[in-house]
Amino acid sequence: WVFLWEKGYQETDSVVSSVTTKVKGVTLTNTSTLGARIWDAADYVIPPQEENAVFVMTNAILTLNQSQGRCPELPDDETECKAKNDCVPGYVSTHSNGIQTGECVPYNSSIKTCEVFAWCPVEDDYHIPKPAFLQEAENFTLLVKNNIWYPKFNFSKRNILPTINSTYLKNCIYDSQTDPFCPIFRLGKIVEAAGQNFQEMAVEGGVMAVQINWDCNLDRAASHCVPKYSFRRLDNKDSAHTVSPGYNFRFAKYYKGGEGTESRTLVKAYGIRFDIIVFGKAGKFNVIPTMINIGSGLALFGVATVLCDVVVLYCMKKRYYYREKKYKYVEDYEL
């Protein structure tokens, strides 16, 4: 077991890794708010570069042309009012969009809310778009470039193998059966391989892991050291975790008008974060672990003898018979 299965004759080392990513894909949306608009990687990959990860926006709530001023707060139990006395000047709660001015103003024809000094109009994120704003994101592709190094053996390699040429790289898409070493992944296939539905996940977002395993036997040729890919969802998706599901954050794009007035477009972005996790170990023959494991094995033979004696002499039914055969009692001549 130690020598053949666990390779006890080898010295081992853990992997050192670096990862870079690139997402490609274009989609068209046509809404009453934005009209016809093309979205490319510069729009939906936020930020452009992350360490060992990439975020792809799949859904969004857009609040256009915000500027600083006074406007009614979103209605809820704390902000709805009937008279000026219901609003407290300077009050700010955890979920406020701004600072209350102390005025009670109409939110619409039937509801009044406390006025706030904020970026107006305030964001209304009560209703998440369904289906997802960027449904076609499942057809986007993710290129993962992974370089690994085993410092103890001074062995390095990357997941774009020497057998892969530029022509193949431009046309291949990862498939566990037909293209297991292609480093380009279709986002929909990644989610599907983890047993999830992409369109459902795209609405509120989530976190996916792209796992790259480099287990290498360096006693064999370097060509046998190849990556193995696997996928799983990291955030919880079940009926017991319905509070604050998925993954989202906000960012804004700022503008200045001709008169120097500042405005912004606020984006609440929902999407899928792909974490690239690299792990593995390498082994190579070394005399020292070989001798240590041989010595340990020989020591175990001595322990086996003692254990067998204990079982035979104290546990078995014929222990008295075996004891008589094992030990010979002699009389002391002097006594």
Say if residue 159 carries a ligand binding annotation.
Answer: no
> Residue 27 forms beta bridges with which residues?
39
> Residue 322 forms beta bridges with which residues?
none
Say if residue 248 carries a ligand binding annotation.
Answer: yes
Say if residue 268 carries a ligand binding annotation.
Answer: yes
Instruction: Tell me the C-alpha to C-alpha distance, in Å, between residue 261 and each of 67, 69, 218, 312.
Output: 8, 11, 64, 95
Say if residue 141 carries a ligand binding annotation.
Answer: yes
Say if residue 250 carries a ligand binding annotation.
Answer: yes
Say if residue 117 carries a ligand binding annotation.
Answer: no
> DSSP secondary structure string, 71-121?
EEPPPSTTTB-SSGGGS-TT---TT-SEEEEEEEEESSSS-EEEEEEEEES
> Residue 278 forms beta bridges with which residues?
212
Say if residue 249 carries a ligand binding annotation.
Answer: yes
Q: Are 59 and 262 in contact (CB under 8 A)?
A: no
The per-type count for the chain, helices as H runs and strands as E runs, is 6, 16
Let me know how long the chain is. Answer: 335
Q: Are 128 and 201 in contact (CB under 8 A)?
A: no
Distance of CA 306 to the CA centre of its chain: 51
Binding-site residue set for ATP: 22-24, 141, 248-250, 268
Binding-site residue set: 22-24, 141, 248-250, 268
